[in-house]
Chain A
Amino acid sequence: MSERSLNIETLLLHGVPPPDEGTGATIPPIFQSTAFAYPSAEALEAVFAGREAGYVYTRINNPTVDHFERRVNVLEDGLGAVACASGMAAITAAALALAGAGDEIVSANSIFGGTYSLFHDTLGRCGITTRFVEATDVDAYRQALGDRTKLIFVETIGNPKLDVPDIAAIGRLARERGIALVVDNTVTTPLLVRPRELGADIVIHSASKYISGQGHAIGGVIVDCGTCDWSNARYEYLRPFHQRVQQFALLAALRNQVSKNLGGCLAPFNAFLLTLGLETLGVRMERHCSNAVAVAEFLGTHGKVEQVRYPGLAAHPDHGVASRQFHGRYGALLALRLGSRECCFRFINRLQRVRNLANMGDARTLVIHPASTFCRDLSAEQREAVGAGEDLVRLSVGLEHPDDILADIEQALKAL
């Protein structure tokens, strides 16, 4: 049976051969080495020149990081992957590999606040303009595309708006126009969806979330699906790389120039932790999703909750798209509207086991008030676009017994 035909739960464990067959170790060793020595000046020159494969410096590549990249790449059925220090570093590198001053990005408007700020503020100051469009309106993407558009960016599920763009429809549009579709698959993971199958050209993960699974390491990864033609005149930055290594043009630009120069590399120890996290992703996602359904159904009928946003609920406007796209599972993020900021704070403060912190995808159930935390630097209008109203809290449902999660939430709601 080829690697590609294995089920994803098996690929998590066996998708890439053990890195050190000589010892029989099943877990990758941690190559905690800044650089790698060569026996001669000629040998190191050959690696720099690309005539030989090899590791040179951990900011560029490292065997432990390389193993993690391969593991993620197999799951996303990609051409290759480049790991980064964080999900934000991955998005930054991918965007800068494709776009420069004078270029444009068309992005869903309901993306994570940090990414929104990256596009609007940081890349905006570099002369890259982002046109934010209603995430679920395919025509809005179509109208926003221009000659200088270098990428379309969407998240599989908006955060914290929890809307679900129709990736297949956006993928068809991207293909029609010869523009790369970049999909952030952090909250759904390849267990729920492989964006490549829906037309994505590049897949991004913040590996700090479900891939880590325990809130123990920051990391990110970019997967080139190998589906975009980088010889397209639109990608002028990639032209010299394409002339040299053809379909590997984006990966080469990232590895040998953009990511290398930005310096946001993944630490080997974090790569080790994230690789371990990957192995249990399958069973964890099952439990995350089933627990989230239990919480959403409970809150959906609770008198103190004005609205529950969860794409798994039939009443969610994108339930149909989500069902088709994620094969009957809907992730573990949900958002509650509780009437006011004060009610949100009272609810959070009353929770006993659900932890109030700025993360998601942890084994523990987490809560946060987005408007006062990771979306606080956005304007009121931008917060509205990303769905971070003052009266909203986001839950990241963990792996505890569902009865215990519900009991904690129920007692906290009594404070309202």
Chain B
Amino acid sequence: MKIKVNGQAVEIPDHLSVADLLTHQKVKMPDMVTVQRNAEILDRKNFAATKLAEHDEIEFLYFMGGGAGVAGRSR
């Protein structure tokens, strides 16, 4: 089935869970990645139980790099 990963169209086998996707996509540092599915951040505890669906839009988010990803003052 087709989904989007970080904005790119990707063909993946059916019935993959989010945990499976991390392996399938050879995601680096899978213990440190945050996964957003259709604009909603998934709880890591649910990675294995969450099955992907056709046209899902998945974003991987890291905090390992240089950007804070938050703008301006926090209060």
Contact = CB atoms under 8 A, between A and B. Distances in A.
Contacts of A246: 34, 41, 43
Contacts of B60: 51-52
Interface string B9-39: 0000000000000000001110111100000
Given A240-B70, A248-B32, A248-B34, A53 B59 contact: no
A410 B18 CA distance: 64
Contacts of A52: 28, 60, 62, 65
A208 to B, nearest CB: 25
Of B31, B33, B70, most buried by chain A (CB within 10 Å of CB) is B70
Given A237-B74, A245-B34, A53 B28 contact: yes
B28 A50 contact: no
A54 B65 contact: yes
Interface string B44-75: 10000000000000011111111111110011
A251 interface: yes
A243 B74 CA distance: 12
Nearest to B74: A237
A48 B63 contact: no
A248 B63 contact: yes
B64 A49 contact: no
Of B65, B66, B67, most buried by chain A (CB within 10 Å of CB) is B65
Of B27, B61, B63, B69, most buried by chain A (CB within 10 Å of CB) is B63
A57 B66 contact: yes
Contacts of B6: 51
The SS class assigned to the A binding surface is helix
Contacts of B41: 245-246
Given A50-B61, A54-B64, A255-B64, A241 B70 contact: yes
Contacts of A237: 74-75
B65 A236 contact: no
Given A236-B74, A237-B75, A239-B74, A60 B66 contact: yes
A49 B65 contact: yes
B6 to A, nearest CB: 5
Given A237-B74, A237-B75, A61 B64 contact: yes
Contacts of A256: 63, 65-69
Given A237-B75, A240-B74, A49 B34 contact: no
A43 B75 CA distance: 32
A244 interface: yes
Nearest to A256: B68
B48 to A, nearest CB: 14
A80 B30 CA distance: 12
22 contacts: A47-B64, A49-B65, A50-B61, A51-B61, A53-B62, A53-B64, A54-B64, A57-B66, A60-B66, A61-B64, A80-B32, A236-B74, A239-B74, A240-B70, A241-B70, A244-B61, A244-B63, A244-B70, A245-B63, A253-B68, A256-B69, A257-B70
Interface of A: 47-57, 60-61, 80, 100, 236-237, 239-241, 243-248, 251-253, 255-257, 260
